[in-house]
């Protein structure tokens, strides 16, 4: 589209003049564009859409709430959509996370988690301030989020803004002990405030996966040293990994948990940071200087909370996990067929997320392969967005068998025409 637009898009190099389709509406797993195309959304619009676009129950909740109360200050005031949502979250999320702090995005839920951890230690008069992170992690694009995430081309220009962290190696199969030893040593240092981790599945880092037993062991190491354990479930939450949260598979209850993306079924921007009683109580006092100092204009926006309330109702009343299990099975079958015809590497799956790597000389985020694959998928009306040389699928749970077959055919065709395999 050569149309001149004042819009500056995220993660987009406008100098390449790549087409930017105009989307007019969406339903289920499909996007409809102004030029009359029906595009299958195979990555849930960047990992947010769980039950499908424009889910009737969520749309109805948004409409109803918009007519009643659009927005109200949340410092010192409250409203029923937020109260009901907080109560509902406590019912279905891991026990022990009894306090719900609202914000607007995954990145801010992480900033909140980090500030809570530092506030916890500060209010207890202990000078713990160091954050431990896992190699290849992604926790958002705000300054705190970037600081605790992998360093690379996407944040190099901003590195003077980023604070120092201690990085624990990723637990590749066979080298888990190195991860444990590094984490144990970092925790023993005495200045470690918290360890932040994406449970089971590192998304933007390349859809890297590790088993529940490793998550459980890392949690145990932190507990042994009294280091707070922050689970960033922004992407893994809401059924993505096959269970409501990824932590559940490891029997892990973190001290702090971040949820966003699928919290509203992917319909509205909203996030929560769940905290255990000790975190909350460390801020509880007659002294106003010890309160938790964080807010934003739209904290707990009522319309977004109503959308999240409808998402909770869907989880309570519909067989979401059965849908997730069936989708995961169909994805595995489709990918097995791809693997028979093409030389793919590291085929891996965690719930509804399935990924493989392609052998290229310039692996990594700026791999030249990415744009060519992207163009092929676009021509075939499938929304897939390879991470460097990694192709992955993360569809909405409502995707039909026919649409999923179309996605696999598109991948097969792209590999044949771009890589020349098959």
Ligand X SMILES: *Cc1c(COP(=O)(O)O)cnc(C)c1O
Site for ligand X contains 138 (CB under 6 A): yes
Smallest separation (angstroms) from ligand X to the CB of 361: 28
Among 29, 89, 234, 306, binds ligand X (CB under 6 A): 234
Among 81, 88, 119, 203, binds ligand X (CB under 6 A): 203
Q: What is the SS3 assignment for 274?
A: strand
Site for ligand X contains 74 (CB under 6 A): no
| Contact present, 116 and 110 (Cβ < 8 Å) | no
| Contact present, 130 and 165 (Cβ < 8 Å) | yes
Phi, psi of 64 (to 5 degrees): -60, -45
Give the number of other CB atoms < 10 A from CB of residue 13. 9
Site for ligand X contains 150 (CB under 6 A): no
Considering the complex, state which of residue 140 and residue 239 has its C-beta at the smaller distance from ligand X: 140
User: What is the signed CA dihedral for 393, 399, 404, 406, rounded to 10 degrees?
Assistant: -110
Among 111, 150, 232, 403, binds ligand X (CB under 6 A): 232
Site for ligand X contains 140 (CB under 6 A): yes
Site for ligand X contains 52 (CB under 6 A): no
Rounded CA-CA distance 291/287 in Å is 8
| Contact present, 206 and 364 (Cβ < 8 Å) | no
Among 29, 39, 235, 308, binds ligand X (CB under 6 A): 235
Site for ligand X contains 370 (CB under 6 A): no
- Encoded one letter per residue, x for contact with ligand X by CB under 6 A and - for no contact, window 240-279 reads --------------------x-------------------
Smallest separation (angstroms) from ligand X to the CB of 45: 12
Which of 99-107, 173-181, 330-338, 384-392 is the region at the interface with ligand X (rule: CB under 6 A)? 99-107
Which of 26-34, 113-121, 227-235, 272-280 is the region at the interface with ligand X (rule: CB under 6 A)? 227-235
Q: What would the two tokens of residue 352 be?
A: 């509804």
**DSSP 3-state percent helix, strand, coil across the chain (nearest 5):** 40, 15, 40
Site for ligand X contains 131 (CB under 6 A): no
Smallest separation (angstroms) from ligand X to the CB of 199: 9
Q: What is the SS3 assignment for 143?
A: helix
- Encoded one letter per residue, x for contact with ligand X by CB under 6 A and - for no contact, window 309-348 reads ----------------------------------------
Among 49, 50, 103, 107, binds ligand X (CB under 6 A): 107
What Cα–Cα distance (Å) separates residue 390 from each residue in 33, 336, 363, 367, 379?
A: 26, 16, 9, 10, 19
| Contact present, 131 and 286 (Cβ < 8 Å) | no
Site for ligand X contains 308 (CB under 6 A): no
Considering the complex, state which of residue 204 and residue 373 has its C-beta at the smaller distance from ligand X: 204
Q: What would the two tokens of residue 79 be?
A: 């409203």
Considering the complex, state which of residue 106 and residue 171 has its C-beta at the smaller distance from ligand X: 106
Phi, psi of 82 (to 5 degrees): -70, -40
| Contact present, 120 and 279 (Cβ < 8 Å) | yes
Site for ligand X contains 105 (CB under 6 A): yes
Q: Which residue minimizes CB distance to ligand X?
A: 106
Torsion sign over Cα 56, 58, 60, 62: negative
- Subset of residues 179 to 198 that bind ligand X, contact rule: CB under 6 A: 198
Sole residue written with tokens 């624990």:
168
Residues near ligand X (CB under 6 A) are 105-107, 110, 138-140, 198, 203-204, 232, 234-235, 260
């Amino acid at each position: 589209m050569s149309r001149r637009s004042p819009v500056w898009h995220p993660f987009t190099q406008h100098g390449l003049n790549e087409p930017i389709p105009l989307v007019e509406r969406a339903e289920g797993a499909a996007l409809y564009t102004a030029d009359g195309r029906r595009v299958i959304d195979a990555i849930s619009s960047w990992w947010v859409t769980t039950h499908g676009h424009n889910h009737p129950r969520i749309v109805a909740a948004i409409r109803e709430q918009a007519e009643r109360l659009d927005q109200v200050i949340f410092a010192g005031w409250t409203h029923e959509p937020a109260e009901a949502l907080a109560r509902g979250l406590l019912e279905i999320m891991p026990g022990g996370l009894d306090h719900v702090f609202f914000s607007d995005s995954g990145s801010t839920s992480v900033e909140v988690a980090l500030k809570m951890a530092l506030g916890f230690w500060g209010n207890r008069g202990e000078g713990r301030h160091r954050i431990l992170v896992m190699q290849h992690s992604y926790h958002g694009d705000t300054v705190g989020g970037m600081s605790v995430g992998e360093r690379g081309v996407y944040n190099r220009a901003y590195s003077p803004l980023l604070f120092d962290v201690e990085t624990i190696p990723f637990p590749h199969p066979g080298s888990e002990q190195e991860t444990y030893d590094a984490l144990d040593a970092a925790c023993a240092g005495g200045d470690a405030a918290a360890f932040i981790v994406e449970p089971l599945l590192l998304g933007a880092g390349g859809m890297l996966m590790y088993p529940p037993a490793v998550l459980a062991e890392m949690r145990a190491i932190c507990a042994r040293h009294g280091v707070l354990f922050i689970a960033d479930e922004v992407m893994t939450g809401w059924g993505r990994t096959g269970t409501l949260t990824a932590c559940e598979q490891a029997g892990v209850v973190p001290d702090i948990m971040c949820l966003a993306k699928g919290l509203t079924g992917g319909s509205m921007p909203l996030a929560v940071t769940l905290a255990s009683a000790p975190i909350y109580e460390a801020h509880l006092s007659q002294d106003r200087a010890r309160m938790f100092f964080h807010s934003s204009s739209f904290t707990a926006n009522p319309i977004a909370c109503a959308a999240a309330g409808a998402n909770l109702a869907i989880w309570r009343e519909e067989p979401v996990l059965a849908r997730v299990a069936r989708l995961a099975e169909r994805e595995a079958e489709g990918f097995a067929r791809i693997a028979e015809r093409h030389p793919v590497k590291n085929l891996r799956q965690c719930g509804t997320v399935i990924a493989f790597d392609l052998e290229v000389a310039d692996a990594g985020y700026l791999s030249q392969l990415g744009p060519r694959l992207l163009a092929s998928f676009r021509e075939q009306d499938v929304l897939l967005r390879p991470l460097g040389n990694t192709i992955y699928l993360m569809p909405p749970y409502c995707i039909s068998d026919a649409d999923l077959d179309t996605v696999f055919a598109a991948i097969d065709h792209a590999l044949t025409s771009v890589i020349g395999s098959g």
